[in-house]
Structure 1
Amino acid sequence: MLNAVSTLTKQTNTSATSNHEIPLIDIAPLIDKSYYQSKCLNQIKKACSQTGFFAIKNHGIKHKTYEDLLKISYHFFKQTESFKRKYQIGSTSSHCGYVPFTENGLYDDESNVRLYEAFDLSLDLPKSDHDHQKGNIFYGPNIWPDIPHFKQIVSDYFQRARNLSHVLTSAFENILDMPSGHMLSKMQKPTSQLRLIHYIENPHYQDQVDINMGAHTDYELFTILFSNERGLQTQNLKGQWIDVPVFKNALTINIGDMLEVWSGGQFKSNLHRVNNLGIERFSFPYFASLDYDTIVEPWKLASTTASLSKYPPIKAGEHLLQQVTRDFAYLRKQLSERSNPFLAQQNLALNPFQNTVLQSLGE
């Protein structure tokens, strides 16, 4: 596993199959609020309306931040199974903690043997916030493993990613001709989550179609992703699977379900998956989300009559909960046993956003 840590400083400029369909965008103008913002915004708009994926550089998060996060994640995941399971997700009232290999989701295209584990956390809030929401599993205190500096390093990154999400949200407001602060005002106590994902090495890897994490969309506004190795794929405008490049000192951004709704379908919440290439991989997605009770519907100034009818209003937190329940066995168990009254009101309906770009364009 030490080799995986060292790969942070050995990232290549492209993935195995280089392509120009996922651009690398310099967002320094957004950070500095310079004269060149309009060019940057146009690049983002084009990417969002095509694959829904783009990479960003000069984003303001230092390289050392990722080195520290990678090292502390490695330190946690190398612990014994009994140690990690002391912090297992589902052991508290909040949706946070260690996600073991057995906590599988409902993905038809995933390998029979799951080869990744994770540690999940959200905004660290008092227990009273969880109780007040009467079942909102995304509000409440995080659970922290007894590892020196773990909480400090992970919390620091969570806050930096959250700050960056505000910069990008302002950009999306601008692109969609929204009043400044319209979306940001609904991110005061967001259900945003950070996942520390560890894909283990697979010595039995044989081909390029061994899927480690099945095809899915992300359920929130958008995702800010750092990964130290290739493996992530998405679909191009022809519906073909393409590799997402791993750019040095860059982050990957992809559009989520809620931003597709808000844009009236102008932005695409595209399918993506993780290919098992036999190598160990760390992935740190930050899912930028909204306050739980936010009602999301197409922004009328950016939408057509057809898009307004296509996207009925959705409560952000309920959509997230419904889809996350499909992803976690412990939540499905609570649902089947009706042990959680709030979950008992949910169902396991397929995500309506889980279609290809090609299908979207063909409608």
Structure 2
Amino acid sequence: MTFTSIPVIDVTALIVGADERDAVVDELGRAAREVGFAQIIGHGIDRTLIDELKGAAERFFAESDDTKMSVYIGNSTNHRGYVPAGEEVFAGATPDHKEAYDLSIDLPADDPDYLAGNPLLGPNQWPTLDNFAGPVTAYYDAIFGLGRVILRAFAETLGEPADLFDRFVTTPPAQLRMIHYPHDPSADDRPGIGAHTDYEVFTLLLPTAPGLQVVNAEGTWIDVPYRDDAFVLNIGDLLEIWTNGTFTATSHRVRKVAEERYSFPLFFNVDYDTWVEPLDRFVGEDGPRYDGVRAGEHLFAQTAQSFVYLRRRLADGEIALPDNARPLYSLGREAQRSAPAV
């Protein structure tokens, strides 16, 4: 379907267990099928946690380049740390005009998966900055908890038990990105972040200014209006695969960021080894439209193709893509318009 606006959904009933819960589940399902995006309000996240997260980000990105590069993501073995401008390049895009700090579930240094060389699990690479790790971790825990609630609602709207996916969420590589878009007077001529889909199950985004756009079935880019009381929710690659394309990982980008802007997406994911393939209820006589993928391998393969330091490691033979790695930008609404899924 061709959408022209982004729905706003009040999820209070999901948080408090009110009688209107079924209606909210239906709204989420309709948004996932028809748009792939929604703005959710009534989410219950404490405003203090949000303000303290923003303060931590402002302090970190105001540090010198040398200080930020002391936790450069290329120094890590599990994709954690500072991402300088130009480090991440999406398919067909110019280098993004942004900087970021990436973290995920903070596992101990003796975690067996980390010691075994898992490329996405393990400890975070924290900067030596006062009052940073505490508020960032507090926000991560809160938004991840909201993600669990949304995941159960998605299971229900698919006609499955609410706990369908729960067993896959123990120590997932669910990444929180703290992104800084500097003031850019030439923003009309250059994207802040290139068009892409998100590689995980879904995303819960907290922006501080407008700039986000999503593409509809006709290829028209639609602005997501900025609301300071909402999280932007969008479907990721894995839900598109699980639903055999019934839910769509709608492509999106950031444009015209003339003002300074921060954004904080949580890429909600399932455990690294989770096998994701179309659910039986969505597979017709013609069979599945999508091959199955291992959740963590799909995330790593897409990440390795878009980060300069990982592409360098690929070229040097230090790492390798999984055998069934998809090329960048092979899922989502734009990909569906141009070619059949595989």
Q: TM-score, normalised by structure 1?
A: 0.87
Alpha-carbon distance in structure 1 between the residues aligned to 2:175 and 2:29: 25
Contact 2:244 2:288 survives alignment (8 Å):
no
- Tell me the equivalent position of 1:313: 292
2:308 aligned partner: 329
C-alpha change, 1:310 and 1:348, in structure 2 (3 Å) is closer
Which fold has the larger relative contact order, with Cα–Cα distance below 8 Å and residues 6 or more apart in sequence? 1
Tell me, yes or no, if structure 1 residue 297 matches structure 2 residue 299. no
Partner of 1:270: 250
Give TM-score, length-normalised by structure 2: 0.93
Name the counterpart of 2:149. Answer: 167
Match of 1:69 among 40, 46, 53: 53
**Please, which of 104, 110, 118 is the counterpart of residue 88 of structure 2?**
104
Residue 40 (structure 1) aligned to one of 24, 38, 44: 24
Deviation at 1:311, TM superposition (A): 1.3
Task: Tell whether the 8 Å contact from 2:214 to 2:224 is kept in structure 1 after alignment.
Answer: yes
Identify the residue that residue 165 of structure 2 maps to in structure 1: 183
Of residues 99, 119, 125, the one that matches 1:117 is: 99
Residues 135-157 of structure 1, C-alpha deviation per residue, up to 9 Å, x if partnerless? 32211110111111100000111
Give the direction of change, closer, same or farther, for the CA distance of 1:118–1:129 in structure 2 (3 Å limit).
Answer: same
C-alpha deviations, 1:190-223, integer Å up to 9, x for none? 1100000000111234x3x632211100000000
Question: Which residue of the other structure, out of 190, 209, 212, is the alignment partner of 1:229?
Answer: 209
- Residue pair 2:91, 2:328 contacting (<8 A) in 1 also: no
The amino acid across from 2:239 in the alignment is L
Superposition RMSD on alpha carbons, in Å? 2.2
Matches within 5 A, 1:189-268: 189-205=171-187, 207=188, 210-268=190-248
Q: How many residues are aligned here?
A: 339
The alignment partner of 1:118 has SS state of strand
**Is residue 323–residue 348 contact of structure 1 (8 Å, CA) maintained in 2?**
yes
* Contact 1:225–1:253 (Cα < 8 Å) also in 2: yes
Q: Distance in 1 between matches of 2:68 and 2:123?
A: 18
Q: SS where residue 194 of structure 2 aligns?
A: strand
**Is the aligned partner of 1:356 residue 2:334?**
yes
Q: What are the residue-to-residue correspondences of 1:4-83 with 2, within 5 Å?
A: 21-83=5-67
* CA drift at 1:346: 8.0
Secondary structure at 2:192 match in 1? strand
CA-to-aligned-CA distance 1:11-30 (integer Å, 9 cap, x gap): xxxxxxxx962111000111
Deviations 1:83-142 (A, max 9, x none): 0000110212221000111313143233x6x42000000100123336557432211110
Deviations 1:237-296 (A, max 9, x none): 322100012123110000000001111211110110110331111000000001001001
130 and 186 in structure 1: CA distance in 2 versus 1, 3 angstrom threshold: same
Q: Which runs of 5+ in 1 are unaligned?
A: 1-18
